[in-house]
Amino acid sequence: MAAWDVDKGFQNSTGPDVNPDLDTERKTASFSVERLTNILDGGAENTQIRRKVNAVLQSDPEFSRENQYFHSQNERYEGAVRRSLYLSKKMDEMGWTADGPEQKYCYRALGDDLAFSVHNVFMKSILGLGTDKQIAKWIPLAEKHYIAGTYAQTELGHGTYLRGLETTATFDVTTQEFILNTPKISAMKWWPGDLGRTATHAVVFAQLYIKGKCYGIHPFVMQIRSLQDHSPAPGVTVGDIGPKMNFAQTDNGYLMLRNVRIPKESMLSRFSQILPDGQYIKQGSEKINYLTMVVVRVYLIRTEILTILMKACTIAVRYSVVRRQSELKPGGPESKILDYQTQQQKLLPQVATAYAFHFLCDYLQEVFDRGYAETKEGKFDLLPELHALASGMKVIASDFSSAGVEVCRRACGGHGYSLLSGLPSLFTKVVASCTYEGENTVLLLQTARFLVKCLGAVKVGQPLPSSVAYLSSTSSGKCGAQEKRDFLNPDVYTAAYKQRAFRMVRNAAIKIHSLIQSGTPQHEAWNLCSVQLARSAMAHSHYIVVQNFVNALEKFEKEFHIQRVLKHLCDLFALHGIVSNMGDFLKTGHLSGKQSDMVTESYLDLLALVRPDAVPLVDAFDFSDANLNSAIGCYDGHAYERLFEWAKKSPTNNQQDNQTFEKYLKPLFRNALSKL
Amino acid sequence: MAAWDVDKGFQNSTGPDVNPDLDTERKTASFSVERLTNILDGGAENTQIRRKVNAVLQSDPEFSRENQYFHSQNERYEGAVRRSLYLSKKMDEMGWTADGPEQKYCYRALGDDLAFSVHNVFMKSILGLGTDKQIAKWIPLAEKHYIAGTYAQTELGHGTYLRGLETTATFDVTTQEFILNTPKISAMKWWPGDLGRTATHAVVFAQLYIKGKCYGIHPFVMQIRSLQDHSPAPGVTVGDIGPKMNFAQTDNGYLMLRNVRIPKESMLSRFSQILPDGQYIKQGSEKINYLTMVVVRVYLIRTEILTILMKACTIAVRYSVVRRQSELKPGGPESKILDYQTQQQKLLPQVATAYAFHFLCDYLQEVFDRGYAETKEGKFDLLPELHALASGMKVIASDFSSAGVEVCRRACGGHGYSLLSGLPSLFTKVVASCTYEGENTVLLLQTARFLVKCLGAVKVGQPLPSSVAYLSSTSSGKCGAQEKRDFLNPDVYTAAYKQRAFRMVRNAAIKIHSLIQSGTPQHEAWNLCSVQLARSAMAHSHYIVVQNFVNALEKFEKEFHIQRVLKHLCDLFALHGIVSNMGDFLKTGHLSGKQSDMVTESYLDLLALVRPDAVPLVDAFDFSDANLNSAIGCYDGHAYERLFEWAKKSPTNNQQDNQTFEKYLKPLFRNALSKL
């Protein structure tokens, strides 16, 4: 990108030259960026594959993200459908299979612009819940997109609380059919993706009734729109729920059913079936299927949450060395804003958080692979722990990442408010993860329930699963740190986190117990402690993330430079967490007031220590400019030039679209002509 | 709104019947809602005027906000221009003058949908900075919209740091003209509202050069577009900066100047003029003008920040008694989500915050009216205090309100993510206030600088201005609370806030001092303490808000029920702040670990105490359904019905616009026809 010339303006938009303010930052990296990228990818080979996939997709104009920020909801949707179908062809062409390594990199590159995400859930639910015959019928059609499916569970009035779903499926013995109904407005299916404008079929969850008796929630696969003209099937009302904070490319929909009759074979019957006389038979264990749902939460941490945080960090850090504002030294040149301590304190902990979650994902993958294998063999003992772990980790990842992306956005000042920076859409997308796949507060309370149970188990001498084993230790020692550098010792800070979590869980449990003792009904006692329970589940989750980051450092013992920079980030993540939640650590007396000052000083020192590596650390995430789609975060650092280039293309600058002057302004301005 | 019928669907959208779950809440108010509304309006008479204005505007279809969430940026802009011009006519028609009481209520009702907001700043700056002759020339034209103005200060590369602006205005003695230039891309004017597609004129801020010498930033009024055909003036490049997170109705623009010559009379010359020979003369004091800029920050707290928080609270609280989810008591009916402690803990502190800021605005209005009067008389002593106060209050109001609105939004689960809830746009609008009119971190550091200076003044025995007088006291006592109810004593919690602020400011000052003592240059010492300085300015601001809320309670001594409920809110605001920043209070030893548990318990008790009044407290804000423009927050509580009604109108359901099926899906689905 050539320098901007006052007379010739802005010459060419791509070129090898990099803004010197950004270039300098790359020359002083304390570690090999390429090596860190390989680590993040899980090996150099993966880096290669990822880059190849990225290159192939980016060289294809069909996948261009240019002008995306100007598109309407309709345009985004149409583009997503077009691209998704084209991608299927492209993958065939390239020989990339659905279970090959390339697929996830396609998603990394194009995820925001694809449709059919819930179509995939439709298929997974048939595979998980259907009989072999049902799988044979539906899957081949769905795989080729000859039908489009959706997963219709959530209702207008019911999200997380599945038992409360109100849609009914009544078995009619005489006709051997189910009659599906939306008995009231709150029972309307609402939110399913791909439902609004795409799906021809749906897996619908409904309360099963046989001869007046309710058997609970069951899945039914049914046609909802014509394959010929896409008109709604008889008795079906279906449409799009309209604009959302993000996800314009996704057609979230509504579905209302009025006496819709579907054949007996429509119930997905791997785990329960109905005999012709209406007899209901339960069979097998759904637990493996339940684990699949839990695994979704783990999967989305990396694909839907962490990637976004990494992108936001990349944009904000690069912009913060290109942006100069005010003087640090009176009379000196204007300073890079990343040289201000306040800016470092905003951004660097987010970079550290991104690395913390990366290693968390590695750990969770391991744990859940093991859990899946065991569960498949019929051992279900791990399930409660895995559920609690997945819930807690989904919450902390979505909560911290949403906050972190917003910090990055605001740290870019006014330009962070422009859609062209890419940051607003990163925020509006990631923040959805606090709500979907289990609302965060609800999930925290589920984790808390498990933790309280574990404390109970300890009392009666039962052993605890590994991720919560620390709850059985009773050590209550005070922190032994004597000076600020002691807080760079992982043993010191992990002990502090452990103490904090243990105390908070225990205190909540004690409070419940004493309320019950004094006559409060159990459910009321639980509610009266729920704020503290939720916080204690968060403290527990926080401890796990810190401890895991510390453990991960060990893997790099032979790579001094990598280990050193990761250790700084681990320390920074841990101390930032202490400083931000200081009350919890002080309250129990684990830290003294004096020690809290030491932590703060040690934390501030770390900012200065990490600062020189800030750009290399985000470069290592290795997003291409197209991945980032940000006018201010590109690799070459020409933020202002690109903002101007992109703004000029905005439809608001299209004179044909601007009738406002002719219609409203011209008649008024005419009056000034004679006076000026 | 009639009950929803499974066969007939949804009948009429307005009617007297209210969702019984919401209706019940209104029957148990512990105070007179109407009286509280009058208090918020500053008297029953104002309530009347406001309601009249609202009624007049809402009965006029020109001001309808229907379908607003479906509009493109172009449509929003055109609508805003149309409505603004129509409003001028309407106001004339109604006899509402520009300085009458109705004007602000017009803005309250329509603010999000109006254009020309910076046109008003254009006028104000001419009135403040222009000579009488300049005022006589421009103001009459601007008032009638015969010209449209903008205020072009911010540049691509410079926001808050005004001295760094790079646009130049060089005085040419030979032609008696100024030559205006944008010397590099970072000097391009960027962000001014009304610039993108509307303005014909601009007040442009530029570095004044005479005979090679720079005289600093000066204002110039100049024409930028033709009044006849709106084409850019010679040498001018102007356009719209494109899509933003919100403010689609505002045409924020860019402006590039290349050797644009404007006559000598173009410099706004109330405070400085240039003689024909190039001699530069400074005259009078700009300080009163400076105060005007500071006052803007105070003004926007009520109009741009607080109103949004109040709306979000109204929507979220009403929805939370209409939404039922899960069982509190096993086997019981599903519970209103506001009966969960975790939901109370999210929403009720936001309601308390809204009331805290309301009384803060009353106080600031008083202080600044007084300050303005004194400054006008030539007494400038108050200026530094007023600047620090306005900065701190703008930060705390925008920061807390942005966080609060987002809490409200997330507390509404999935529906809070739909634009139709109204909550996403409330968030994306309010959060801009953290950045505009002085970026929050920058402002905090300015406040901190004043606070540190005050500590210095104390040392040499100088008296302190009233809002910071507490910094001269040296009391360092510990909190005397013995049991949880002691924390409902305002003396106890205000003392805690005072202590916290004092200690934090003092410790930051000590750290700077000791760094300097040990050889660190002053500017570096400042930077190394800036995180702590910013936090201490926040603690100071927090104290002021709490203390002011306590003071405000005294006014209601004769109104028991009102005072009681406001006292609960004041307590809740104060204790929520302590619980959320517990580390600060524990660190200095002001609170003990045991006392921190008491505060928490007292805080949780308050949630249950305020819960029954939650709906009446938000009803008292008295927003009409049209004001809220929320499918889930309406007065009648028919959230689900309205979501469905509104969604059906979405353009995504317009079959004509949906070519996706015909183009992409039909050819694929055809293949399934023979197989199903």
End-to-end CA distance of chain A: 42
> Does B118-284 match B289-465+482-618 in CATH topology?
no
Helices (H), B195-340: 287-300, 307-322
Chain A residues lying within 8 Å of B528, measured CB to CB: 341, 604
What amino acid occupies position B285?
S
Q: B53 vs A264, B110, B112, B307, CA distance in Å?
A: 61, 11, 16, 17
Question: CA torsion angle for A647, A648, A649, A651 (degrees, to 10)?
Answer: 80
CA distance A132 to chain B (A): 17
Q: Beta partners for A171?
A: A178, A210
Model pLDDT, residue B112: 85
Tokens representing residue A604 in the block: 């501030």
Chain A residues lying within 8 Å of B196, measured CB to CB: 652-653
CA distance A46 to chain B (A): 33
CA distance A40 to chain B (A): 31
Q: Is the dihedral of CA A545, A550, A551, A554 positive or negative?
A: positive
Q: Are residues B452 and B269 in contact, defined by beta-carbon separation less than 8 angstroms?
A: no
Chain B residues lying within 8 Å of A576, measured CB to CB: none
CA A441 – CA B661 distance, rounded (Å): 39
Q: Is the dihedral of CA B210, B212, B214, B220 positive or negative?
A: positive
Residue with the two structure tokens 């108050």: B382
- The pLDDT tens digits for A27-86 are 999 999 999 999 999 999 999 999 999 999 999 999 999 999 999 999 999 999 999 999
Q: Are residues B309 and B316 in contact, defined by beta-carbon separation less than 8 angstroms?
A: no
Q: Which of A145, A157, A676 sits opposite B668 (nearest CB)?
A: A145
Q: Which of B164, B593, B652 sits opposite A197 (nearest CB)?
A: B652
Looking at residue B147, the DSSP 8-state letter turns out to be S
CA distance B528 to chain A (A): 6
Say whether pLDDT at B4 is over 50. Answer: no
Q: Is A334 a catalytic residue?
A: no
Cβ-count burial of B635 within 10 angstroms (0-12 exposed, 13-18 middle, 19+ buried)? middle
Q: Which residue of B has its CA nearest to A7?
A: B258
- Count the alpha carbons within 13 Å of B85 in the hemisphere toward its beta carbon: 21
What amino acid occupies position B346?
K
The DSSP secondary structure of A150-216, one letter per residue, reads EEE--BTTBSS-GGG---EEEEETTTTEEEEE--SGGGSEE--TTTTTT-SEEEEEEEEEETTEEEE
- The pLDDT tens digits for B310-343 are 999 999 999 999 999 998 888 889 999 999 999 9
Provide ipTM, 2 decimals. 0.97
Q: Which of A230, A341, A413 sits opposite B528 (nearest CB)?
A: A341
What amino acid occupies position B622?
D
Q: Are residues A43 and A95 in contact, defined by beta-carbon separation less than 8 angstroms?
A: no
Model pLDDT, residue B2: 40
Chain A residues lying within 8 Å of B424, measured CB to CB: 244-245, 428
Tell me whether residues A435 and B417 touch, CB distance under 8 A. yes
Q: Which residue of A has its CA nearest to B531?
A: A342
What share of chain B has pLDDT > 90, as a percent?
Answer: 88
Model pLDDT, residue A16: 58
Tell me whether residues B157 and A243 touch, CB distance under 8 A. no
CA B444 – CA B438 distance, rounded (Å): 10
Q: Please tell me the CATH superfamily of domain A42-115, with its number.
A: Acyl-CoA dehydrogenase/oxidase, N-terminal domain (1.10.540.10)
Q: Which of A191, A243, A650 sits opposite B240 (nearest CB)?
A: A650
Chain B residues lying within 8 Å of A530, measured CB to CB: 340-342
Q: Which residue of B has its CA nearest to A444?
A: B342
Chain A residues lying within 8 Å of B585, measured CB to CB: 583
Q: Which of A161, A241, A416 sits opposite B418 (nearest CB)?
A: A241
Residue-wise over B364-376: b if at least 16 C-beta within 10 A, else e? bbebbeebbebbe
Chain B residues lying within 8 Å of A10, measured CB to CB: 185
Overall average pLDDT of the B497-520 stretch: 97
Q: Are residues B224 and B238 in contact, defined by beta-carbon separation less than 8 angstroms?
A: yes
CA B611 – CA B157 distance, rounded (Å): 48
Q: Which residue of B has its CA nearest to A588?
A: B593
- The pLDDT tens digits for B251-299 are 999 999 999 999 999 999 999 999 999 999 999 888 877 887 788 888 8
Cα B209 to chain centroid distance, Å, stands at 37
Q: For an interface test with B, which of A342, A443, A588, A642 has the most B Cβ atoms less than 10 Å from its Cβ?
A: A342
Residue-wise over B277-289: b if at least 16 C-beta within 10 A, else e? eeeeeeeeebebb
Tell me whether residues B329 and A432 touch, CB distance under 8 A. no
Residue with the two structure tokens 């996939």: A53
Cβ-count burial of B421 within 10 angstroms (0-12 exposed, 13-18 middle, 19+ buried)? buried
Tell me whether residues A527 and B640 touch, CB distance under 8 A. no
Q: B149 vs A338, A463, B78, B222, B595, CA distance in Å?
A: 36, 74, 17, 9, 57
Q: Which of B339, B587, B673 sits opposite A228 (nearest CB)?
A: B673
Overall average pLDDT of the B612-638 stretch: 98
- Count the alpha carbons within 13 Å of A23 in the hemisphere toward its beta carbon: 7
Cβ-count burial of A131 within 10 angstroms (0-12 exposed, 13-18 middle, 19+ buried)? middle
Q: Which residue of B has its CA nearest to A421?
A: B244
Chain A residues lying within 8 Å of B673, measured CB to CB: 227-228
- The pLDDT tens digits for B428-459 are 999 999 999 999 999 999 999 999 999 999 99
Tell me whether residues A197 and B661 touch, CB distance under 8 A. yes
Tell me whether residues B242 and A154 touch, CB distance under 8 A. no
Model pLDDT, residue A379: 86
Tell me whether residues B650 and A72 touch, CB distance under 8 A. no
Q: Please tell me the CATH superfamily of domain B289-465+482-618, with its number.
A: Butyryl-CoA Dehydrogenase, subunit A, domain 3 (1.20.140.10)
Cβ-count burial of B51 within 10 angstroms (0-12 exposed, 13-18 middle, 19+ buried)? middle
Ranges of chain A with pLDDT below 70? 1-16, 474-476, 657
Chain A residues lying within 8 Å of B342, measured CB to CB: 441, 445, 530-531, 534
CA A299 – CA A364 distance, rounded (Å): 9
Say whether pLDDT at B541 is over 50. Answer: yes
Chain A residues lying within 8 Å of B4, measured CB to CB: 184-185
Model pLDDT, residue B9: 42
Tell me whether residues B676 and A181 touch, CB distance under 8 A. no
Q: Among residues A360, A402, A358, A364, which one has the least CA distance to residue A385?
A: A364
- The pLDDT tens digits for B84-94 are 999 999 999 99
- Angle at Cα B503 formed by Cα B499 and Cα B509, nearest 5°? 150
Domain coordinates in residue numbering, chain A: 42-115, 118-284, 289-462+492-618
Tell me whether residues B672 and A243 touch, CB distance under 8 A. no
Q: For an interface test with A, which of B188, B227, B591 has the most A Cβ atoms less than 10 Å from its Cβ?
A: B227
Tell me whether residues A530 and B82 touch, CB distance under 8 A. no
Cβ-count burial of B554 within 10 angstroms (0-12 exposed, 13-18 middle, 19+ buried)? exposed
Q: Are residues A516 and A475 in contact, defined by beta-carbon separation less than 8 angstroms?
A: no
Q: Are residues A85 and B664 in contact, defined by beta-carbon separation less than 8 angstroms?
A: yes
Mean pLDDT of chain B: 94
Q: Among residues B357, B353, B361, which one has the least CA distance to residue B299?
A: B361
The CATH class for the domain spanning A289-462+492-618 reads: mainly alpha
**Residue tagged active-site, from A66, A437, A557, A641:** A437
Chain A residues lying within 8 Å of B334, measured CB to CB: 161, 164
CA B76 – CA B83 distance, rounded (Å): 10
H/E stretch holding A367 reads: helix A341-376
Topology classification of domain B118-284:
Butyryl-CoA Dehydrogenase, subunit A; domain 2 (2.40.110)
Tell me whether residues B230 and A640 touch, CB distance under 8 A. no
Tell me whether residues B7 and A258 touch, CB distance under 8 A. yes
Tokens representing residue B477 in the block: 């006592």
Cα A228 to chain centroid distance, Å, stands at 37
Say whether pLDDT at B10 is over 50. Answer: no
**Helix, strand, or coil (residue B170):** strand
Q: Beta partners for A274?
A: A280
State the count of interchain CB pairs (< 8 A) between A and B.
Answer: 397
Say whether pLDDT at B11 is over 60. Answer: no
Model pLDDT, residue A399: 98
Residue-wise over B89-98: b if at least 16 C-beta within 10 A, else e? ebbeeeebee
Tell me whether residues B82 and A672 touch, CB distance under 8 A. no
CA B233 – CA B31 distance, rounded (Å): 61
Q: Are residues B147 and A669 in contact, defined by beta-carbon separation less than 8 angstroms?
A: yes
Tell me whether residues B328 and A73 touch, CB distance under 8 A. no
Tell me whether residues B330 and A523 touch, CB distance under 8 A. yes
Tokens representing residue B135 in the block: 């005022």
Q: Which residue of A has its CA nearest to B583?
A: A583
Chain A residues lying within 8 Å of B164, measured CB to CB: 325-326, 334
Q: Which residue of A has its CA nearest to B186?
A: A640
CA A519 – CA B429 distance, rounded (Å): 48
Tell me whether residues B583 and A596 touch, CB distance under 8 A. yes
Give catalytic residues of B, as residue numbers. Answer: 437
CA distance A474 to chain B (A): 20
Model pLDDT, residue B657: 67
Looking at residue A304, the DSSP 8-state letter turns out to be I
CA A31 – CA A36 distance, rounded (Å): 8
